[in-house]
Amino acid sequence: MTVAVNTEETGKKIAEAIPGSVVSSEAGSLTVDSKSLAQVSEFLKNTPGLEFDYLTVLTAVDYLHYFEVVYRLVSLKNNQSLILKTRAYGRENPTVPSVTDTWRAAYYQEREIFDLLGIKFEGHPNLKRLLLWEGFNGHPLRRDYL
Protein backbone atom coordinates (compact mmCIF):
# COMPACT_ATOMS: atom_id res chain seq x y z
CA MET A 1 0.00 0.00 0.00
CA THR A 2 1.41 3.34 -1.04
CA VAL A 3 1.75 5.71 1.92
CA ALA A 4 1.35 9.46 1.65
CA VAL A 5 4.46 11.31 2.79
CA ASN A 6 4.30 13.94 5.51
CA THR A 7 3.90 17.09 3.44
CA GLU A 8 5.16 19.46 6.17
CA GLU A 9 8.50 17.65 6.44
CA THR A 10 8.81 17.43 2.66
CA GLY A 11 7.91 21.12 2.40
CA LYS A 12 10.70 22.00 4.83
CA LYS A 13 13.21 20.00 2.78
CA ILE A 14 12.16 21.78 -0.39
CA ALA A 15 12.19 25.21 1.27
CA GLU A 16 15.77 24.60 2.47
CA ALA A 17 16.96 23.57 -0.97
CA ILE A 18 14.99 26.13 -3.02
CA PRO A 19 14.19 29.17 -0.86
CA GLY A 20 10.85 30.89 -1.46
CA SER A 21 9.34 28.07 -3.46
CA VAL A 22 6.82 26.55 -1.01
CA VAL A 23 3.55 28.46 -0.60
CA SER A 24 1.86 26.06 1.82
CA SER A 25 2.34 22.48 2.95
CA GLU A 26 -0.80 21.78 4.94
CA ALA A 27 -3.75 19.42 4.65
CA GLY A 28 -1.98 16.63 2.83
CA SER A 29 -0.87 18.59 -0.19
CA LEU A 30 2.09 20.70 -1.08
CA THR A 31 1.55 23.99 -2.93
CA VAL A 32 4.54 25.55 -4.62
CA ASP A 33 5.14 28.76 -6.55
CA SER A 34 4.82 28.12 -10.29
CA LYS A 35 8.08 30.03 -11.00
CA SER A 36 10.14 27.43 -9.13
CA LEU A 37 8.15 24.41 -10.34
CA ALA A 38 10.89 23.15 -12.66
CA GLN A 39 13.46 23.17 -9.85
CA VAL A 40 10.99 21.59 -7.39
CA SER A 41 10.09 18.78 -9.80
CA GLU A 42 13.77 17.99 -10.42
CA PHE A 43 14.38 18.07 -6.65
CA LEU A 44 11.45 15.72 -5.94
CA LYS A 45 12.56 13.27 -8.59
CA ASN A 46 16.27 13.13 -7.82
CA THR A 47 16.65 13.65 -4.06
CA PRO A 48 17.43 10.41 -2.18
CA GLY A 49 14.60 9.57 0.22
CA LEU A 50 11.97 11.20 -2.00
CA GLU A 51 12.60 9.90 -5.54
CA PHE A 52 9.16 10.54 -7.00
CA ASP A 53 9.77 8.90 -10.35
CA TYR A 54 6.16 8.27 -11.43
CA LEU A 55 3.51 10.88 -12.27
CA THR A 56 0.14 9.13 -12.06
CA VAL A 57 -2.31 12.01 -12.53
CA LEU A 58 -1.99 15.56 -13.74
CA THR A 59 -5.17 17.60 -13.60
CA ALA A 60 -6.36 21.15 -12.98
CA VAL A 61 -9.21 22.93 -11.22
CA ASP A 62 -10.82 26.27 -12.05
CA TYR A 63 -11.39 28.37 -8.89
CA LEU A 64 -12.51 31.41 -10.94
CA HIS A 65 -9.86 33.79 -9.51
CA TYR A 66 -7.06 31.30 -10.15
CA PHE A 67 -6.40 27.89 -11.70
CA GLU A 68 -4.83 25.14 -9.63
CA VAL A 69 -2.77 22.44 -11.37
CA VAL A 70 -2.57 19.20 -9.36
CA TYR A 71 0.21 16.62 -9.74
CA ARG A 72 -0.15 13.27 -8.03
CA LEU A 73 3.31 11.74 -7.67
CA VAL A 74 4.28 8.24 -6.63
CA SER A 75 7.71 6.91 -5.70
CA LEU A 76 7.98 3.30 -6.82
CA LYS A 77 11.27 2.87 -4.92
CA ASN A 78 10.06 4.13 -1.55
CA ASN A 79 6.36 3.22 -2.07
CA GLN A 80 5.05 6.64 -1.11
CA SER A 81 2.92 9.31 -2.73
CA LEU A 82 2.62 13.09 -2.74
CA ILE A 83 0.08 15.60 -4.02
CA LEU A 84 1.83 18.62 -5.49
CA LYS A 85 -0.09 21.74 -6.47
CA THR A 86 0.70 24.98 -8.18
CA ARG A 87 -1.37 27.96 -9.22
CA ALA A 88 -1.81 29.98 -12.39
CA TYR A 89 -3.37 33.44 -12.25
CA GLY A 90 -5.26 35.40 -14.85
CA ARG A 91 -8.01 34.19 -17.17
CA GLU A 92 -6.57 35.42 -20.45
CA ASN A 93 -3.17 33.79 -20.37
CA PRO A 94 -2.62 31.50 -17.34
CA THR A 95 0.83 29.96 -17.57
CA VAL A 96 2.60 27.15 -15.73
CA PRO A 97 6.01 25.66 -16.63
CA SER A 98 5.84 22.23 -18.21
CA VAL A 99 7.14 19.17 -16.35
CA THR A 100 7.51 16.99 -19.46
CA ASP A 101 11.30 17.10 -19.09
CA THR A 102 11.04 15.52 -15.64
CA TRP A 103 8.08 13.20 -16.10
CA ARG A 104 7.34 12.15 -19.69
CA ALA A 105 3.82 11.04 -18.60
CA ALA A 106 2.84 14.72 -18.44
CA TYR A 107 2.93 15.04 -22.24
CA TYR A 108 -0.65 14.08 -23.06
CA GLN A 109 -2.20 15.28 -19.80
CA GLU A 110 -0.75 18.76 -20.22
CA ARG A 111 -2.15 18.83 -23.74
CA GLU A 112 -5.56 17.78 -22.40
CA ILE A 113 -5.51 20.52 -19.73
CA PHE A 114 -4.46 23.07 -22.35
CA ASP A 115 -7.34 21.88 -24.50
CA LEU A 116 -10.08 21.89 -21.88
CA LEU A 117 -8.97 24.63 -19.46
CA GLY A 118 -6.68 26.83 -21.53
CA ILE A 119 -3.66 26.73 -19.23
CA LYS A 120 -0.44 27.21 -21.18
CA PHE A 121 2.49 24.97 -20.27
CA GLU A 122 5.75 26.74 -21.05
CA GLY A 123 8.38 24.44 -22.50
CA HIS A 124 5.96 21.75 -23.71
CA PRO A 125 7.33 20.25 -26.95
CA ASN A 126 3.99 20.10 -28.80
CA LEU A 127 1.29 22.10 -27.07
CA LYS A 128 -1.87 21.81 -29.17
CA ARG A 129 -5.43 20.61 -28.69
CA LEU A 130 -5.83 16.91 -27.88
CA LEU A 131 -9.55 16.03 -27.58
CA LEU A 132 -11.18 18.92 -29.43
CA TRP A 133 -10.42 20.07 -32.93
CA GLU A 134 -8.34 22.97 -34.19
CA GLY A 135 -10.50 26.05 -34.45
CA PHE A 136 -12.76 25.20 -31.49
CA ASN A 137 -13.77 28.37 -29.71
CA GLY A 138 -13.13 28.48 -25.94
CA HIS A 139 -12.14 26.00 -23.27
CA PRO A 140 -15.15 23.93 -22.16
CA LEU A 141 -14.10 22.88 -18.66
CA ARG A 142 -13.76 26.50 -17.50
CA ARG A 143 -16.52 27.50 -15.14
CA ASP A 144 -17.44 30.55 -17.19
CA TYR A 145 -17.81 28.55 -20.43
CA LEU A 146 -21.34 28.82 -21.92
Partner 1 sequence: MEIIRPEVTTPQEADLAEGKLINSFLETCTGQYPDPDKWLDEEIRRNVLLTTVDAAVAWARQRSIFPLIFGTACCAFEMIAASGPRFDLSRFGMDIIRFSPRQADVMLITGTITWKMATAARMIYDQMPEPKWVIAVGACAISGGTFRESYSVVPGVNHIMPVDVYVPGCPPRPEAMIHGINRLHAKIVKGTIDNPNLALK
Four-residue CA torsion sign, 89, 118, 41, 5: positive
141-108-128 Cα angle (round to 5) = 70
Using the rule CB under 8 A, is 63 a contact of partner 1?
A: no
Please count the other Cβ atoms lying within 10 Å of the Cβ belonging to residue 26. 10
Interface residue with partner 1 among 15, 23, 70, 132 (CB under 8 A) is 132
Q: Which stretch, 19-27, 48-56, 90-98, 129-137, contacts partner 1 (CB under 8 A)?
A: 129-137
Minimum CB separation of residue 110 from partner 1 in Å reads 19
Half-sphere exposure for 58 (CA within 13 Å, toward CB): 22
Least distance from partner 1 to the Cβ atom of residue 140, Å: 5
In the complex, what is the shortest distance from the CB of residue 142 to partner 1, in angstroms, rounded to a whole number?
A: 12
Size of the residue set binding partner 1 (CB under 8 A): 6
For residues 54 and 73, give the distance between their C-alpha atoms in angstroms, rounded to a whole number. 6
Nearer Cβ to partner 1 (89/136): 136
Nearest distance from C-beta of residue 133 to partner 1, angstroms = 6
Distance CA(96)–CA(76), nearest Å, equals 26
Pattern 79-118, binding to partner 1, x per CB under 8 A? Answer: ----------------------------------------
Separation between Cα atoms, residue 59 and residue 71, nearest integer Å: 7
142 binds partner 1 (CB under 8 A): no
- Backbone phi, psi, residue 104, to 5°: -65, -25
Residues that bind partner 1 (CB under 8 A): 131-133, 136, 140, 145
